[in-house]
Amino acid sequence: MKSIPLHGVGIGLRSPHTPLFLKSPPKSVDWIEVISENFFPLPGESLDDSEPLRNLLKIRSDLPISLHGVSLSLGSTDDLSKSYLSILRELVRQVDPWMISDHLCWTGVDGLNTHDLLPLPYTAESIQHVAERILRVQDFLGRSIAIENLSSYVTFANSEMQEWEFLSEISQRTDCGILLDVNNIFVSSINHGFDPLEYLDSIPPDRIVEIHLAGHSRKEGCIVDTHDAPICTEVWDLYRTCLRKVGPRNVMIERDARIPEWPEMERELLQLRGIYEAR
């Protein structure tokens, strides 16, 4: 796997904070991640018509960018979408991101997009299926991608291995990176009753190219990955452990709902920077 530049501490840039970044990117941010599909053109338009993309390219002159997708549907049995991949390839050409990522999941079948990130059965057959699709995506884009572990709420009775074995095997087979979401490990560990430290211990460190942190919500009987709250103490602790085990990786905070004003968001980012730089 190609070596990845170490940029440091980043943020998932969302629309409420975009004007600030256009005016003057905060010094507390080393890089940004954006959702790829937010820059896709509307039907009948081209990427060149996209005002969000024009703004992103302005920010690009100040900060490195990672493109994070939610619709590649690597695990689906539907064919990979040629039109989706063509737009993504053009977006990549224009933005020149340091990383392209999506999730180890499926989002729909028979042409239906559920807009949910759905888990897979952890079987040899799934590995074969997903790995073959990742290789096709990487071949089409002409570069490696990274795949992210999900938060999940159900598991499949026919799974033959643990999630961390599934993720690691796919990464090894396809030479793709792992985007390790530490909050997702924590959420799934509570929902399914596994040890998050065993998860961390089992992922090959050299395959981890990026780390996500986020907040979640506790509901009756489970934890839901809502990205609408500050990062909790247990996830900060798990990140500290990850940093010790794996070493520094580009790390960012995702907040997708109840997005606070920038000063509050920045406080959490500075908390992350304190941990990252104290390593």
Residues that bind Fe ion (CB under 5 A): 181, 212
Element (H, E) at 234: helix 233-246
* Nearest approach, Cβ of residue 103 and Fe ion (Å): 8
Minimum distance from CB of 181 to Fe ion (Å)? Answer: 4
- Closer of 7 and 212 to Fe ion (Cβ): 212
Nearest-approach distance from CB 158 to Fe ion, in angstroms: 26
User: CB-wise, 101 or 126, nearer to Fe ion?
Assistant: 101
To Fe ion, the closest distance from the beta carbon of 165 in angstroms equals 20
Residue nearest to Fe ion (CB): 212
Closest contact distance (angstroms) between CB of 190 and Fe ion is 16
Pairing of strands 112-118, 106-109: antiparallel
Contact 213, 251 (CB under 8 A): yes
Select 50 or 187, whichever has its Cβ closest to Fe ion.
187
In the bound state with Fe ion, the residue whose beta carbon lies nearer, of 133 and 212, is 212
* Separation CA 275–CA 30 (nearest Å): 15
How far is C-alpha 140 from the chain's CA centre?
A: 20
> Percent helix, strand, coil in the chain (nearest 5)?
45, 20, 35
Instruction: Give the C-alpha separation, 94 to 197, whole Å.
Output: 39
CB nearer Fe ion, residue 212 or residue 255: 212
Count other Cβ atoms within 10 Å, centred on residue 6: 12
Nearer to Fe ion, 37 or 90 (CB): 37
Residue 59 CB, nearest approach to Fe ion (Å): 21
Task: Report how far apart the first and last C-alpha atoms of the chain are (Å, whole number).
Answer: 25
In Å, how far are 70, 88, 146, 152, 230 from 101, measured between CA atoms? 9, 11, 5, 18, 23
Pick the closer one to Fe ion by CB: 57 or 246.
Answer: 246
Whole-number minimum distance, CB 182 to Fe ion, in Å? Answer: 9
Collapsed DSSP state (helix, strand, coil) of residue 124: helix
CA–CA dist 117, 154 (Å, integer): 12
- Classify each residue of 61-96 as buried b or exposed e, where b means 16 or more C-beta atoms within 10 Å of its C-beta: eebbbbbbbbbbbbbbeeeebeebeebbebbbeebe
- The DSSP letter of residue 67 is E
Nearer to Fe ion by Cβ, of 30 and 254: the residue is 254
Q: How far is the CB of 252 from Fe ion (least distance, A)?
A: 9
